[in-house]
Structure formats: structure tokens, C-alpha cells
């Protein structure tokens, strides 16, 4: 496997990072998870824009232009013969001291990995997920804003641990006001009487690119789509609930806190949106070859 490291492609065995890198020491850095389908990188421009927005929010200077970064992603896919896969794009603060001061770091480190991923077993897409609400609340927006895709994912990992300990693959996270935020790694949608609703980003949700694309596809199909505050009650009494994410794509939730959602099976609207999304990802994107 070839890894893009700093400014060039290297063999996986040579892809090493300093133990003094602040990405390792403090989770000081940002990342994007990107998908490739049918020899195209899906939503590449949008992912690059969000990466640079995250960098600006944490005062991290990326030592490459957006165009250079996009070319590096495509070239890493080419080098690894990726036509359908997953790309992890990481920018760390770089090598520094054992102190917190980020401005003593020499230069940001860029890492690009192009490989494969399967977040959930295929059977879960057919039967739906069962999830639980966890006690770990989503980061406050003025602590670590969830719109920043930072390397510090401990908040999400703590929630994931609770989910797994409860026998579930995924969970529901609330914000400090008890409102619905998102899952540990995905955005959440509710369908009630044909209206599709998802929490706004200020409730503690990442402004997911899959989320945004699904909202766009649903509106084009004629559905009313809202960004609104949700309580757990709204999920319990929903006709359908589903999650979206780059790795997860679209997956139904059929049980929350042992409350059956709708019929207890993946719903028709979710299936329709999933089909539209699948068609979209196979035909759009930045060509790899």
C-alpha cells in the first residue's frame, strides 16, 4: 500500500510519524473521511472545503493549496488502484514539543490513506439497527465545536463504548440541553407523516456531507425537509429513523431504547432515499483515472 505522507507517496512501512507530533500527543489535528465509487471521488471539493474550514477554526495552517490537496487524494487512489474505497485524509499539527503550545510545531503533517472500509455488516442494512441513548453528551459547541472534524474523537469513542457495552453497534447522543445531537459517528434523521427532520448543527451535530446530499435528494424528490430541534420523544414516535455518514451511507434504525420505530423494519422512504443516494454516488464525483 502507498501512503501520501507530507508531500509524497511512500510505502506503508515507511509511513511514520514523529512521537512528538501534536496529532499523537494531543489529538491536535483534523481529518476527512471520503468515499470513492466507480473510479470517482465523491464530493471531493466539499470534503476539501470542510477540511480547510476545520483548519481555520483551530488556527492550523495547511502547507498545501486546495488544488494540490485534491490532486494528492486522486493520486493516492491511483497508486493503490482504488476504484471503490475509503480515503482518510489527515492533517496533524506536526512535530513539536511536549508542551501544549501549537505554534512551536514545525510544520503541519498531511497523511492520506486510500483503502477499504465496512462500517456495519451487510445484514444490518437489510434489517436495521438497534441503538441506545448514552450518558456521554455531545461536546458543547464552545468547547470543541462538533462542526470541526478534529482528531480528538474521545467524546465519540466514550459514547461508542457505552453502545457496545449495551449490546448495540451505534448510539444516540444528546447535547447539554438534552436535545438530540447525532449518533457517535453519523447524523440522524426522523420521518414523521412524510416530513423529514434532522437536528441543526448548533444542536451538536456535525454538518455531514452525506447528510447534506440526502437533504438535497429528498427535496428534489418533493419531500419537506427541516432542520429542527428534536427530543428523544420525536424519535420514539417517528414513522422512520435513519442514520447517514460517509462510511455508513444510509442505514435504518428500527429500535431506540427498546422502543420499536414504525413497523420495526426499514421504511419505504428510507429505502427510496437510499436508492437515490446509491444512484448518485455511482455517477457523480472527481474522476480518478
Please determine, for residue 190, whether its predicted confidence score (pLDDT) is greater than 80.
Answer: yes
Q: Which of 2, 149, 160, 213 is catalytic?
A: 149
What the block records as the C-alpha cell of 239 is: 414513522
Q: What is the pLDDT of residue 289?
A: 81
| All residues at 6 or more sequence positions from 253 whose CB lies less than 8 Å from its CB, including other chains | 128, 129, 130, 131, 170, 188, 241, 242, 243, 261
Please determine, for residue 78, whether its predicted confidence score (pLDDT) is greater than 90.
Answer: yes
Q: What is the pLDDT of residue 118?
A: 78
Q: Hunting for cell 420514539 — which residue is that?
A: 236
Q: Hunting for cell 448543527 — which residue is that?
A: 201
The pTM of the whole model exceeds 0.85: yes
Q: What is the pLDDT of residue 137?
A: 96
**What number of CA atoms fall less than 13 Å from residue 189's CA on the CB side?**
30
Poorest-pLDDT segment among 76-80, 118-122, 169-173, 251-255: 118-122
* 3-class DSSP assignment, residue 23: helix
CATH number of 2-115: 3.30.470.10
Instruction: Give one DSSP letter per residue of 108-168, joined into a string.
Output: -EEEEEEE----S-HHHHHH-EEEEE-SSPPPPTTTS-TTS-BS--HHHHHHHHHHHHTT-
Q: Where are the beta strands (DSSP E) in 145-237?
A: 170-174, 180-182, 187-192, 195-198, 224-227
**What are the domain boundaries of the chain?**
2-115, 122-283
Interval 133-159: pLDDT, tens: 999 999 998 899 989 999 999 999 999
Q: What is the pLDDT of residue 119?
A: 76
User: Mean pLDDT across the stretch 255-263?
Assistant: 98
Q: Does domain 122-283 have CATH number 3.40.50.1970?
A: no
Q: What is the pLDDT of residue 141?
A: 86
Q: What is the pLDDT of residue 76?
A: 98
Q: What is the pLDDT of residue 53?
A: 98
Q: What is the pLDDT of residue 213?
A: 98
258 is catalytic: no
Q: What is the pLDDT of residue 6?
A: 93
Interval 268-281: pLDDT, tens: 999 999 999 999 99
User: How many beta carbons lie within 10 A of that of residue 76, not counting itself?
Assistant: 23
Interval 34-69: pLDDT, tens: 999 999 999 999 999 999 999 999 999 999 999 999
Residue 271 sits at φ, ψ, to 5 deg, of -65, -40
Interval 99-137: pLDDT, tens: 999 999 999 999 999 998 877 888 999 999 999 999 999
Select from 82, 162, 72, 75 the least CA-distant residue to 115. Answer: 82
| All residues at 6 or more sequence positions from 3 whose CB lies less than 8 Å from its CB, including other chains | 9, 10, 11, 12, 15, 76, 111, 112, 113
Q: What is the pLDDT of residue 120?
A: 86
What the block records as the C-alpha cell of 59 is: 488556527
30, β-bridge pairs:
91, 150
Amino acid at each position: 500500500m502507498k501512503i501520501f505522507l507530507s508531500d509524497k507517496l511512500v510505502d506503508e512501512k515507511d509511513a511514520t510519524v514523529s512521537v512528538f507530533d501534536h496529532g499523537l500527543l494531543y489529538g491536535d489535528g483534523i481529518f476527512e473521511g471520503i468515499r470513492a465509487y466507480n473510479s470517482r471521488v465523491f464530493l471531493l471539493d466539499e470534503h476539501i472545503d470542510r477540511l480547510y474550514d476545520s483548519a481555520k477554526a483551530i488556527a492550523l495552517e495547511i502547507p498545501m493549496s486546495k488544488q494540490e490537496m485534491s490532486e494528492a487524494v486522486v493520486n493516492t487512489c491511483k497508486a493503490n488502484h482504488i476504484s471503490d474505497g475509503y480515503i482518510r485524509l489527515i492533517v496533524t499539527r506536526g512535530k513539536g514539543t511536549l508542551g501544549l503550545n501549537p505554534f512551536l510545531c514545525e510544520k503541519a503533517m498531511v497523511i492520506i490513506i486510500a483503502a477499504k472500509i465496512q462500517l456495519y455488516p451487510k445484514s444490518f442494512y437489510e434489517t436495521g439497527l438497534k441503538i441506545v441513548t448514552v450518558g456521554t453528551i455531545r461536546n458543547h459547541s464552545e468547547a470543541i465545536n462538533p462542526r470541526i472534524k478534529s482528531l480528538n474523537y474521545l467524546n465519540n469513542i466514550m459514547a461508542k463504548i457505552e453502545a457496545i457495552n449495551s449490546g448495540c453497534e451505534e448510539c444516540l447522543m444528546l447535547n447539554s440541553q438534552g436535545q438530540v445531537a447525532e449518533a457517535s459517528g453519523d447524523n440522524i434523521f426522523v420521518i414523521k407523516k412524510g416530513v423529514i427532520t434532522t437536528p441543526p448543527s448548533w444542536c451538536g451535530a456535525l454538518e455531514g456531507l452525506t447528510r447534506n446530499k440526502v437533504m438535497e435528494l429528498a427535496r428534489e424528490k418533493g419531500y419537506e425537509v427541516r432542520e429542527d430541534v428534536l427530543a428523544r420523544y420525536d424519535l420514539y414516535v417517528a414513522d422512520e429513523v435513519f442514520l447517514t455518514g460517509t462510511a455508513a451511507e444510509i442505514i435504518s434504525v428500527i429500535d431506540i431504547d427498546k422502543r420499536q420505530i414504525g413497523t420495526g423494519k426499514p421504511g419505504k422512504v428510507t429505502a427510496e432515499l437510499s436508492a437515490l443516494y446509491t444512484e448518485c454516488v455511482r455517477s457523480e464525483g472527481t474522476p480518478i483515472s
